[in-house]
Structure 1
Amino acid sequence: MIKKLMQSIRDYKRPAIETPVFVGIEVLFECALPFVMAQLINHMTGESMDPIVKYGSILLVMAMLSLLFGVLAARKAATAGAGFAKNLRHDIFYAIQDFSFADVDRFSSSSLVTRLTTDVTNVQNAFQMMIRIAVRTPLMMVFSLAMSFSINPRMALLFFCVMPVIAIALIWMIRTAMPIFRRIFKKYDALNNSVQENIAGIRVVKSFVREEYEREKFYRASDEVRKDFTHVERILALNSPVMSFCMSASMLLISFFGAKTIVNSHGTSLNTGDLSALISYGVQLLMSIMMLSMVFVMLTMAQESARRITEVLNYENTLHSPENPVMEVADGSVDFNHVSFKYNEKSKRNALTDIDLHIESGETVGIIGGTGSSKSSLVQLIPRLYDVTEGSVEVGGIDVRNYDVDTLRDAVAVVLQKNVLFSGTIKDNMRWGNKNATDEEIVEACKLAQADEFVSKFPDGYDTYIEQGGTNVSGGQKQRLCIARALLKNPKVLILDDSTSAVDTKTDALIRQAFMDKIPNTTKIIIAQRISSVQDADQILVMDGGRVVEQGNHESLIAKNGIYREIYDSQTKGKEEE
């Protein structure tokens, strides 16, 4: 886990190495200060200022040098920590870009956001502590003990009296806190999920006047995090009083036995300056232990964050290109060979069952069916957004698993149910389909999708800025822009997953007619709720319960008097009544 995370240091290795070096020099000067102070006290005779000037000057220089290297260490640690966090976020984000839909479903989008933000911040703080505080404290402890033993070994042994108490307290706190931190991060995921869901559906929330319900839902999720944090903070709060008690006990022991030694030996075994130095070293030693305990607390919290991050970094994408992939899609023919599919291997129920289907290149295929009939699941297997559980899907006569993934997806354009436009101009959004598309090609694609009509009326035309999520265009306009973007790929297979649902029937008909006239060689698969959107298709599939229950053209399906006829009658009857 550590090795994996350390790969993200990369171009920040130098400040990461310089920091502990500067810390070591800082500690060296800091630990020498009590010794020089002891010499100053021991040489104060009241007869001359020379010892005070001499040792005072040395103290001043050493203090300034300690400060200088401390500042340098802090600056380098900040640079290394910020750079490490930046690289780590990039590595996680790049890893997520390779995830399939199934991989994202496995982690959940809210959990991935938490790992990119909160978890990275926790690991960044721990990293900065590791290269600075975690280096400083052991060095300070070693040097302080060494100097204490050089002054008076017997007195130095008193420091070890409180060590068992500190060790027991630290072990107990870490072992108790770790499971709680693991639980907290899972609840953070749930909290973030609640926020994302609310923001994404804020219009629905307001239209149904559900603000109070959402507030209570968020409060409950937030309160769950608060309860666990309160619990763990109560445990960790014991750290400071335990350390303070141990420090006070050590100072009392050293002061008592030190004073007793001075009195009994008349200053021969121990003098006032040495006792002062011992007390200073005792403070340094115990402060180091206190800082070390804080490091352990931070590492305890960061350990769970590090585990969650490396889980993403080490995750093997379930969808990847084979060793010797096919780099060209011959045509737009599509075959489903006894395909069954489930979203989760542990699920007992198939989303699709035994789909056997052939679509000729250039055909127009309509898919219709009720909600939950797995229409979207079917078409998502074509560009290999998911892998089949059983059987195979072929495009251009070759199993989709044998293609280079990018090559396959370049040949298959999908306009999904949830249309997404990104912040930027209309041209910027269009070039997602083809980054090298000319202005003329963009206009032509928009004309095919019946989008040029409204885009040309905007004051800035194709340079009109689209807000994040496309909030400044209507649902129908957004759908047409997304269709135009897909057309710019010049795909061999074009899939419209209920992508004209917000478009009026006249515009819908114009789009379909443009497809027939302008892209006759492209295979067109249209999922729709309206019969009028698919009735001119070469073949129509009727789906129910993850199966193709009816198949044929409009006339043959009407003649069967099945589900298709029922849908047709219900829609045409409604129109007649109007």
Structure 2
Amino acid sequence: MMKLFRYLKPFRLPILVVFALVFMQSLSDLYLPTLMADIVDKGIINGDIPYIWKIGGIMLIFAAIGAICSIGVSYCSSRVAIRFGQKLRSKMYRHVQNFSLQEFDTFGTASLITRSTNDIYQVQQVLIMLLRMMISAPMMCIGGMIMAVNKDAELSLVIVVIIPVLVAAIAIIALRGLPLFKSMQVKLDTLNRVLRENLTGMRVIRSFNRTEHETKRFEDANVDLTNTAVKVNKIMAAMMPIMMLVMNFSTIAIVWFGGVRISNGDMQVGSLMAFIQYATQIIFSLIMVSVIFVILPRASASAIRINEVLDKVPEINDPSQPKQANLQRGYLSFKDVTFHYPGAEQPAISNISFDAGPGETTAIIGGTGSGKSTLLSLIPRFYDVGSGKVLLDGVDVRELSQEQLREKIGFVPQKSLLFTGTIADNIRYGKKNANDEEIQRAADIAQATEFISNMKDGFQSEIAQGGGNVSGGQKQRLSIARALVRQPEVYVFDDSFSALDMKTDAKLRTALKEVTMNATVLLVAQRVSTVMDADRIIVLDNGGIVGIGTHRELMDTCDVYREIVSSQLSEEESA
């Protein structure tokens, strides 16, 4: 928790204001019982009405000061906590943006969302409580003890007996609650993950009639979280009755022993009334501490989870002195590249070597799981190679800054992803300052203009979340347009034509040739017809290259390629 509070440095002045207001409020609250005792002992007993009015007026002033300070504390502490939460969310978001896919795989999307929202909210709430009570509770407790001893030292022994009982109760409850609070956050991650899968996979769930199965998955996760929450609340629910029970018994004890001392002439009635109020203030200050302990375990668990993210050092970082790739425009080389996914025994790809130059189209084909997408993900450094080198214009991509490297690449992922906004916004995502003419041209090349013009608002038509209001083929064409508007040096198409019909595929590849004449093009495809005209075809099998060459060369030399071709094309088509 304390590690996170280092982000409070920009709020030092407001925090000092909060502490000053809390200090004044505490002094005001501590002085009121003494004034009341004076009214009883000196005013009411002596029948001195002017004195009663005088001290009563002073009490009103102090009560008003306390109320004003309390309002100020609430406002300032809430403002500091909310700004702190905002800063922490921004810090976590920026840090997560530097994660490689490996770190995303480690934490999981659902967990990162929970940590960025619910966990930060828990820390934010406990910060509000701490700012309000960090000074107030100790001051009220210590100040109450001093004032109680000042009123009657012997009667203060009752308070000495009470405090250890309260502290022990708070400690036991907090120790039992902390593991359950940690467990709750993990179970909340699980619930979020199940809910996210249900919502994003609704089409698949309904198409396979698995609604009941998914409902049961959600109910299991929901019940598991609920049961843990019930256990926590049962433990925490015991705290307040214990506090009230102790407070009531202590009041009885104070009245009992105080009555004896009054009858013996050792104490006055007003002093006993003030003593009761000071004892109540002491107990309530401990109750405030107990309230902090109620939420502190959960906030501590949340803080640990937040720190896990913030302390995670990304595997992929920019070099301290990035080099400039300027020998050639878009010349790409793989030099004996091998890559393992974390925890995998066998490499996903091994000993990959090839060159791809400007004006050339290099196609990659192979069976499922042969390593095609993995190979492409090493180019923009979504992952770093295990051994070997990936060179861009003669420079190892690890020696370039990630921003510089990715500016040179137009990447179209295997799974097309669109963002909420207009069609023009989604295409402009590839080049933020692209004008309307550039957007129109990119859409024309991607064969997207026809369906865009048929939409109600054309390029200003809104895209639903995840592209839910366009088809798979339309999403792919918009993703391609997004890469084209960038006009990069290297185009990377990761099975980006799979949802297109043969006619659109052919027209798109023809249009691409004209705009990629001076760029390096790498494409993964499942269809042989998409790769037949490539300058170079790389055939992968079990993570290794089993053939490189043109279509005709591979038909003569590569058995794996011939098998793929024969499974898709007739002899006349493959000739």
Same fold by TM (over 0.5)? Answer: yes
How far the C-alpha of 1:37 sits from its partner, in A, is 0.8
How far the C-alpha of 1:46 sits from its partner, in A, is 6.4
1:347-426 equivalences under 5 Å are 347-426=344-423
Structure 2: where are the runs of 5+ without partners? none
Deviates more, 1:377-386 or 1:47-56: 47-56
Cα deviation digits, residues 543-572 of structure 1 (max 9, x gap): 222222232211122224622222212212
SS of residue in 2 equivalent to 1:154: coil
Residue from 453, 468, 473 that aligns with 2:470: 473
1:515-554 equivalences under 5 Å are 515-554=512-551
2:567 paired residue number: 570
Aligned mates of 1:227, 1:569 — CA distance in 2: 58
SS of residue in 1 equivalent to 2:283: helix
Aligned mates of 2:533, 2:45 — CA distance in 1: 110
Aligned mates of 1:294, 1:326 — CA distance in 2: 56
1:333 paired residue number: 331
Aligned mates of 1:111, 1:332 — CA distance in 2: 38
Aligned mates of 1:506, 1:383 — CA distance in 2: 31
2:37 paired residue number: 38
1:56-455 equivalences under 5 Å are 56-264=56-264, 266=265, 269-329=266-326, 330-344=328-342, 346-455=343-452
How far the C-alpha of 1:122 sits from its partner, in A, is 0.3
How far the C-alpha of 1:38 sits from its partner, in A, is 0.8
Aligned mates of 1:134, 1:294 — CA distance in 2: 12
Q: Does the Cα contact within 8 Å between 2:547 and 2:558 map onto a contact in 1?
A: no
How far the C-alpha of 1:383 sits from its partner, in A, is 0.9
How far the C-alpha of 1:75 sits from its partner, in A, is 1.0
SS of residue in 2 equivalent to 1:322: coil
How far the C-alpha of 1:48 sits from its partner, in A, is 4.2
Aligned mates of 2:470, 2:572 — CA distance in 1: 29
Deviates more, 1:319-328 or 1:171-180: 171-180
SS of residue in 2 equivalent to 1:9: helix
How far the C-alpha of 1:232 sits from its partner, in A, is 2.1
Q: Does the Cα contact within 8 Å between 1:341 and 1:352 map onto a contact in 2?
A: yes
Cα deviation digits, residues 481-515 of structure 1 (max 9, x gap): 11111112211111111111111111111111112
Deviates more, 1:527-536 or 1:567-576: 567-576
How far the C-alpha of 1:127 sits from its partner, in A, is 0.7
CA RMSD in angstroms, aligned pairs only:
1.8
Deviates more, 1:155-164 or 1:14-23: 14-23
Q: Does the Cα contact within 8 Å between 1:336 and 1:393 map onto a contact in 2?
A: yes
SS of residue in 2 equivalent to 1:162: helix
Cα deviation digits, residues 223-266 of structure 1 (max 9, x gap): 221222222222222211221222122212211111111112x3
Cα deviation digits, residues 30-49 of structure 1 (max 9, x gap): 11111111111112136442
Residue 504 (1) aligns with residue 535 (2): no
Aligned mates of 2:114, 2:155 — CA distance in 1: 51
Cα deviation digits, residues 105-162 of structure 1 (max 9, x gap): 1111111100111101100001111111222111111111111111111112220102
How far the C-alpha of 1:336 sits from its partner, in A, is 1.6
Q: Which amino acid aligns with 2:194?
A: S
Q: Does the Cα contact within 8 Å between 1:325 and 1:403 map onto a contact in 2?
A: yes
SS of residue in 2 equivalent to 1:529: coil
Q: How many residues align?
A: 571
How far the C-alpha of 1:29 sits from its partner, in A, is 0.8
Cα deviation digits, residues 6-29 of structure 1 (max 9, x gap): 343355443332222211111111
How far the C-alpha of 1:282 sits from its partner, in A, is 0.7
Residue 52 (1) aligns with residue 52 (2): yes
Q: Does the Cα contact within 8 Å between 1:155 and 1:258 map onto a contact in 2?
A: yes
2:454 paired residue number: 457
SS of residue in 2 equivalent to 1:356: strand
Cα deviation digits, residues 186-223 of structure 1 (max 9, x gap): 22111111111111111111222211111110111112
Deviates more, 1:99-108 or 1:280-289: 99-108
2:27 paired residue number: 28
Q: Does the Cα contact within 8 Å between 2:325 and 2:392 map onto a contact in 1?
A: no
Q: Does the Cα contact within 8 Å between 1:9 and 1:83 map onto a contact in 2?
A: no
Q: Does the Cα contact within 8 Å between 1:174 and 1:296 map onto a contact in 2?
A: yes
Structure 1: where are the runs of 5+ without partners? none
Aligned mates of 1:364, 1:409 — CA distance in 2: 19
Q: Does the Cα contact within 8 Å between 2:325 and 2:395 map onto a contact in 1?
A: no
TM-score (structure 1 length as normaliser):
0.95
Q: Does the Cα contact within 8 Å between 2:325 and 2:393 map onto a contact in 1?
A: no
Q: Does the Cα contact within 8 Å between 1:433 and 1:488 map onto a contact in 2?
A: yes
How far the C-alpha of 1:365 sits from its partner, in A, is 1.2
Q: Does the Cα contact within 8 Å between 2:360 and 2:519 map onto a contact in 1?
A: yes
Q: Does the Cα contact within 8 Å between 1:134 and 1:295 map onto a contact in 2?
A: no
1:479-490 equivalences under 5 Å are 479-490=476-487
SS of residue in 2 equivalent to 1:132: helix
Residue 2 (1) aligns with residue 2 (2): yes
Aligned mates of 1:10, 1:459 — CA distance in 2: 51
Deviates more, 1:90-99 or 1:541-550: 541-550
Aligned mates of 2:221, 2:350 — CA distance in 1: 38
How far the C-alpha of 1:574 sits from its partner, in A, is 12
Aligned mates of 1:438, 1:7 — CA distance in 2: 44
Aligned mates of 1:531, 1:132 — CA distance in 2: 69
Q: Percent identity?
A: 37
